[in-house]
Chains A and B, each alone.
Chain A
């Protein structure tokens, strides 16, 4: 009976129904206690005319790690959409960001394993003058991979209600403007009227080689616990210009109690001007700037330099300073040489570290001969670190070398042998380890399937993306990853 129904289903819909998808399957084995990590992320999209259905599955099945309890995560998401050219209506899971994210920000970052989604109803309408109106009512779910496990960062607040409206328009070619409103009703709000509101607006101007834009947002909320109105404000200004083959970008940001809520997850994510993605407290108390100059003065030569700074209002010494100079030169199609120097200073950013300064010169050489590809990467970090607790030591000084060699004998395979080290064996951030050798093989099984095998150790450490940071635990063992397009 069910087989007959299925065949009818295929016959009726098969001609114009299409399904596409992608699956990422991973299996890790830790050397320590032979613990395992199995993860599968499947995304399927079915289309029938202007209708589409999205299905998403995330299965995270770790074995028991040490004495702590086993914490698997199994998520099943769906969305049903109607999407002709002039409008989109979607029920279920979706991602959207208003403006540059000062009022509302969500998105999926597969590289960083961060899936900040909205569950609800979205309507998007295309209007004259390149205008777009977005209306939504949803709940937030923030899934984040941290310390070798997936966590729902807002697990206690998934019942919060979010309503939003965003209107952007471009009445003339050189001018773009937008306005937006977000209302958040939380379980912890003391009264029904004590919700949080975010208002915002932006303006973008493009005049030939010069482009400038500004976005501002206000937050009206309730003081936690005691009630009463709490106000926040923030803005970002960008200015870029291109001349004589070079491009200059300047950014200024200032956020005061704009990031909301002030905990481990946020409904909005004000941008950080720091190139490597480090932020202090994600819009709660930050101000700073970024300057970047880049260009190609000669054919095949690309140069880039940037200086970025972010600090808190009351203490200009606390925060982040990043400076980087990079040059990349391609000689014909065979050789590529890249030189880079990065300086990163952090104060009161990482838990347990009062101050940290890192200077990292790096070199990358790529060489191609026939079907054979060779790559060499080397980096040496000079680190000075002052821990918060100075009972035992006042200051660490150590080095972090990195070297890796890659060889690709053709289209199918790429092998990489790498090593990272540190000449200081008392560092808690690296679990008191000093050496991390690794061997990786990437096998392109077919156009649609890629297998990655990684054997050895990974150093871990503090990494950031778009203002969101995490501590990655060191890893020793084997990782297998298979990516398949369906």
Chain B
């Protein structure tokens, strides 16, 4: 039996890498699109904010539990575990940091807003980076 990921050209999964001292509040970006994560994190770091990323939503749950980021920016549509499910899990675990949802699917954004997801904000891709930077800066302060 061959799973989808066995196709030639599928990208290797990148694990969370620790760049930030433990006592520094940071933002965790969770999206299965690694290039997107990298660009967001690069922008935020360039502007002096601590940020890291994880592409595997299950691993992200473990990191959130372990590292307790100050805030998370998480994609709604992910393979395996949806962003909303991740939020639900971490909130049940007692995570009380800031949560931002994002999606490229307007329907998903609308639905999340409509259903009143218990998050700070729901962002629609493409992410407006300057606005994100101001927002994150406020949260991490």
A and B physically associate: no
Q: Which residues of A contact B (CB under 8 A)?
A: none
Interface residues, chain B, CB within 8 Å of chain A?
none
